[in-house]
Amino acid sequence: MDTGKTVFAQLMDFLLAYEFHKCIQRYNVHYKVKHLSCWSQFLCMAFAQLT
Protein backbone atom coordinates (compact mmCIF):
# COMPACT_ATOMS: atom_id res chain seq x y z
CA MET A 1 0.00 0.00 0.00
CA ASP A 2 1.24 3.49 -0.85
CA THR A 3 2.01 5.57 2.23
CA GLY A 4 2.96 8.77 0.40
CA LYS A 5 0.94 11.95 0.09
CA THR A 6 -1.86 12.33 -2.42
CA VAL A 7 -1.38 14.57 -5.44
CA PHE A 8 -3.80 17.10 -3.94
CA ALA A 9 -1.83 17.23 -0.67
CA GLN A 10 1.39 17.72 -2.59
CA LEU A 11 -0.10 20.62 -4.54
CA MET A 12 -1.45 22.26 -1.39
CA ASP A 13 2.04 22.10 0.14
CA PHE A 14 3.11 24.76 -2.37
CA LEU A 15 0.48 27.15 -1.03
CA LEU A 16 1.44 28.84 2.19
CA ALA A 17 -1.51 28.86 4.59
CA TYR A 18 0.01 31.88 6.33
CA GLU A 19 -0.16 33.95 3.13
CA PHE A 20 -3.73 32.82 2.52
CA HIS A 21 -4.82 33.81 6.04
CA LYS A 22 -3.02 37.14 5.67
CA CYS A 23 -5.13 37.89 2.58
CA ILE A 24 -8.29 36.90 4.46
CA GLN A 25 -7.40 39.34 7.24
CA ARG A 26 -6.58 42.12 4.76
CA TYR A 27 -9.90 41.94 2.92
CA ASN A 28 -11.99 41.00 5.99
CA VAL A 29 -13.86 38.21 4.19
CA HIS A 30 -14.47 36.09 7.29
CA TYR A 31 -16.75 38.47 9.18
CA LYS A 32 -20.00 36.59 8.40
CA VAL A 33 -18.66 33.03 8.25
CA LYS A 34 -20.50 30.65 10.56
CA HIS A 35 -19.75 27.05 9.60
CA LEU A 36 -17.34 26.63 6.70
CA SER A 37 -14.07 28.52 7.08
CA CYS A 38 -12.48 30.33 4.16
CA TRP A 39 -9.59 27.86 4.17
CA SER A 40 -11.97 24.87 4.01
CA GLN A 41 -13.96 26.46 1.21
CA PHE A 42 -10.76 27.15 -0.73
CA LEU A 43 -9.65 23.53 -0.33
CA CYS A 44 -13.04 22.27 -1.54
CA MET A 45 -13.00 24.55 -4.58
CA ALA A 46 -9.39 23.67 -5.42
CA PHE A 47 -10.22 19.96 -5.20
CA ALA A 48 -13.26 20.48 -7.44
CA GLN A 49 -11.09 22.22 -10.04
CA LEU A 50 -8.61 19.35 -10.02
CA THR A 51 -11.31 16.75 -10.49
pLDDT value for 1: 64
Half-sphere exposure of 12 (CA within 13 A, CB side): 16
pTM of this prediction exceeds 0.85: no
6-31 pLDDT per residue, tens? 888 888 888 888 888 888 889 888 78
More confident residue, 2 or 34: 34
State the pLDDT confidence band at 44, using cuts at 50, 70 and 90: very high
DSSP the chain: ---S--HHHHHHHHS-HHHHHHHHHHHTTTTT-SSS-HHHHHHHHHHHHH-
State the pLDDT confidence band at 36, using cuts at 50, 70 and 90: confident
